[in-house]
Structure 1
Amino acid sequence: IGVGRDITELKLQQNNLEEQAHIIQQANDAFIRTDSEGNIISWNPAAQKIFGFSKDEIIGLNINILYPKNDHDMLKQSILLLNYQDEMRSTVELLDKIGSNIAIEQTISKLVNEDEANILFVLKDVTFNKQLSSEINKQEKIIYNQSHHVSVGQMIGNIAHQWRQPLSVITTSVSGMLLKKEVNSLSDKSFDQTCNLVLQTSKYLSNTINDFQRFIKGERIFETFNISQNIQSCLNLQGPVLKDNHINIVKEFDETLELKGYPNELTQCFMNFINNSKDAFLMNNTAPKDRFIFIKMKKSDDQLEIKFNDSAGGAPKEVIQKVFDQYFTTKGEQSGTGLGLNMTYNLIVKGMNGNIEAQNELVEYKGKTYKGLCFTIHLPLNNE
């Protein structure tokens, strides 16, 4: 009976080995077995497909032929570490037969039987995944640049508009002062008042230039910044848009709060919210006296919540579901690019480890209830 049981167990083991061998032969990943010195013992079809070496060419060679020379010491260290842990996992750049780089996810483990200790290399080709990721990053950069260029064009118009009145104030004040001097009616008090007015107006123009310069540079600098000043900079840049469209801003937040992130890009996100609300007011024919954008900010634990809520009547459910999709717009091809809110989503979620959502909300203000679309952002205060 004992002999029969042993024979049965041997047959089961043999069947298992045959099944494992079949799986390895059919696998999409390279399965390479070496001896303890790294000399190749077995080489499956996937390994040949990935690296270009046939079985006859590679058997007996050392596996370091697949590794750049600078990584040979690292490979030896990885094999030695198998004495202390079951397996080693990493992503590496290996070489094929003609010396081209291949992105590989590798798992190295030790195989121990009664006779010898072998090493199993399971190598997964992730070159396509890496190329795809690189292409996605490239597309996101293109989207950001397109959106930024659109915004810069809008800003140039805003700056021109924003400068007209201050320049008019300076011109009128200086002309009036010169006229008074000609008729000998220029008093010291009038002279001082005119000079102070010109200085104040010039300072305003200088601040506008600084805001615009920071924005137009498009510098992607990760730094600690005051979030309320960032919002105010956005409001300064959008001043003509707000004034011309009779949009009132209602702010409610702590002006001392600081955040780690990309201030220049965040400014553009806020500009996108304002432009979206402006378009909604016009599309929905909202009465000028009822055009509000409510900006609220509050800190909770290790997060900062920022809300941009307008009073334009809200948006249909099907629009809200697609509002962050690339190239989605309700304004038509002539008026909208569908890039702004998609860029905003990518910056908040991928660039600053936060989240953003859109929903219709009601806001009580001065005894009246307003309905509108609300963008809610959550950002980590200690973002790294």
Structure 2
Amino acid sequence: MIDEVIKTFIIETDAIYGSFYLTSTKIEHITSHGKKLSLDINELLQLSKNDEIVVNSYADTLNILLYKLENGLIIFLYDKNIDLEFITFIYESFRQKLNISINSCLNVQKLEEKNNELENLTLNLKDEVRKALNNYKEKEKQFFEQLKMAQMGELIGNIAHQWRQPLSVISTAASGMKIKKELTILSDEDFFHYADSILNNVNFLSDTIDEFRDYIKESNREKEIIVQDRVKMAFKMVETSYQIENIKIIEDKIEINPIKFKLILGELLQVIIAILNNAREALSGKKSLDKWVKYSVFKDGYSVVITIEDNAGGIKDEIIDKIFNPYFTTKHQSHGTGIGLYSSYDIVVNHLGGTLDVKNSENGAKFYIKLPLYIDYSI
């Protein structure tokens, strides 16, 4: 029975290795599947806890998961890129049923009538594991659909901010020209002044559309870019919305020499814009006249580091470790989905092989994006 359970967990959760040790009277190895490994079971028993599932690093690229039961220890190994939070939740939900199954096995000689119950529990357990994982995959699909809609909403919002001021200028110029013409006081000088104002702002609107169109068109295309230019482009896309909130954009430490490497163009912009939108929202509620966001781009050994800092006062200690969690938001449900920073973390860590952290500085929140330059970002 337990052999089938271990195999089912390995297949359905993409584990590299799984094994079960019986610990009721003496330590007895029952079954193993997957990559052959030499493990110190006594050391692992000391690390395991009766009331919770323990996850520890194993070698450089793996995580080992220890699942302590009443009379046994289940061990799984996973690649470090796999998110174990939901998998751990699944295992925990089956703890009672696994204990019943294993205890039934231990008493099978005395309690022959338990055989049918045991077989049913095993079959039900395998079905429930598959159902739980299928539900998770469906929720993950829904999550990314929701993420696309949220990103589109933010994109439209940024376009609206960029267009509001030039449209107002065009409207004012056209109205002024019409009124002066009706009053027969429209001079050639006035005419050319209004016409130039309208043309300049129309060109600005056209350039804005080109920028956002390129952002959408390039969002799935790999290309060598200059990091400094890509960061500045992200700031330019939110510049107008920052001006409306009287937020200054400050360049801090910028590497002089161009930093080049390949990546999927839209992804880095998506990460930076998500952070900038969060900074704008944090600053919008502040009454201070000196509101700013400061950024840096520089090399650190074999990595490129992008920092984005605001002076909104920082993130509360009790939630700073949760802001990259899916669906976590401090905003009202109607104003925030809690997926922007989670998506940013997923892109930086799982797509680009880097790290994304946040710390509180003396001014406010400071985000650190660190990408290793020696990696070819082919996806």
What TM-score, normalized to structure 1?
0.56
Match in the other structure for 1:125: none
Matched residue count? 251
Task: Give per-residue Cα distances to partners, 1:221-246, cap 9 Å, x unaligned.
Answer: 22212333323332333234312322
Distance in 1, Cα, partners of 2:214 & 2:138: 23
Paired AA for residue 262 in structure 1: I
Q: Which runs of 5+ in 2 are unaligned?
A: 1-28, 35-128
Q: 2:370 aligned with 1:378, yes or no?
A: yes
Match in the other structure for 2:328: 328
Task: Give per-residue Cα distances to partners, 1:43-65, cap 9 Å, x unaligned.
Answer: xxxxxxxxxxxxxxxxxxxxxxx
Distance in 2, Cα, partners of 1:169 & 1:278: 25
Match in the other structure for 1:267: 269
Task: Give per-residue Cα distances to partners, 1:11-32, cap 9 Å, x unaligned.
Answer: xxxxxxxxxxxxxx964549xx
Q: Which runs of 5+ in 1 are unaligned?
A: 1-24, 31-128, 363-370
Match in the other structure for 2:308: 308
CA contact (8 A) 1:245 1:288 kept: no
Match in the other structure for 2:224: 224
Match in the other structure for 2:244: 244
Paired AA for residue 156 in structure 1: I
Q: Aligned to 1:293, what secondary structure does the other structure show? A: strand
Task: Give per-residue Cα distances to partners, 1:309-364, cap 9 Å, x unaligned.
Answer: 111111222311112111222224333211111110010011111111111113xx
In the TM superposition, residue 171 of structure 1 has moved relative to its aligned partner by 3.5
> CA distance change for structure 1 residues 185 and 194 in 2, over 3 Å: closer, same or farther?
closer
CA contact (8 A) 1:174 1:194 kept: yes
CA contact (8 A) 1:260 1:381 kept: no
Paired AA for residue 186 in structure 1: S
Identity of aligned residues (%): 30
Match in the other structure for 1:200: 200
In the TM superposition, residue 374 of structure 1 has moved relative to its aligned partner by 0.7
Q: 2:356 aligned with 1:356, yes or no?
A: yes
Q: 2:194 aligned with 1:186, yes or no?
A: no
Distance in 2, Cα, partners of 1:265 & 1:139: 22
In the TM superposition, residue 156 of structure 1 has moved relative to its aligned partner by 1.9
In the TM superposition, residue 202 of structure 1 has moved relative to its aligned partner by 1.8
Q: Aligned to 1:377, what secondary structure does the other structure show? A: strand
Task: Give per-residue Cα distances to partners, 1:135-186, cap 9 Å, x unaligned.
Answer: 9888666544423321321332332343232123234334545666673753
Q: Aligned to 1:289, what secondary structure does the other structure show? A: coil
CA contact (8 A) 2:225 2:262 kept: yes
Q: How does 1:114-129 map to 2 (within 5 A)?
A: none
> CA distance change for structure 1 residues 134 and 196 in 2, over 3 Å: closer, same or farther?
farther
Match in the other structure for 1:295: 295
Q: Aligned to 2:370, what secondary structure does the other structure show? A: strand
Distance in 1, Cα, partners of 2:143 & 2:368: 22
CA contact (8 A) 1:312 1:372 kept: yes
Distance in 2, Cα, partners of 1:176 & 1:28: 82
> CA distance change for structure 1 residues 185 and 207 in 2, over 3 Å: closer, same or farther?
closer
> CA distance change for structure 1 residues 382 and 205 in 2, over 3 Å: closer, same or farther?
farther
RMSD across aligned positions (CA): 3.5
In the TM superposition, residue 203 of structure 1 has moved relative to its aligned partner by 2.0
Paired AA for residue 271 in structure 2: C
Distance in 2, Cα, partners of 1:133 & 1:222: 32
Which protein has the larger Cα radius of gyration, Structure 1 or Structure 2? 1
Q: How does 1:71-150 map to 2 (within 5 A)?
A: 142-150=142-150
Distance in 2, Cα, partners of 1:215 & 1:141: 23
Distance in 1, Cα, partners of 2:374 & 2:329: 34
In the TM superposition, residue 132 of structure 1 has moved relative to its aligned partner by 10
Distance in 1, Cα, partners of 2:136 & 2:215: 25
Distance in 2, Cα, partners of 1:133 & 1:229: 42
CA contact (8 A) 1:281 1:312 kept: yes
Distance in 1, Cα, partners of 2:364 & 2:333: 24
In the TM superposition, residue 273 of structure 1 has moved relative to its aligned partner by 1.0
CA contact (8 A) 2:219 2:265 kept: no
Q: How does 1:148-159 map to 2 (within 5 A)?
A: 148-159=148-159
> CA distance change for structure 1 residues 145 and 204 in 2, over 3 Å: closer, same or farther?
farther
Q: How does 1:157-172 map to 2 (within 5 A)?
A: 157-172=157-172
Paired AA for residue 157 in structure 2: G
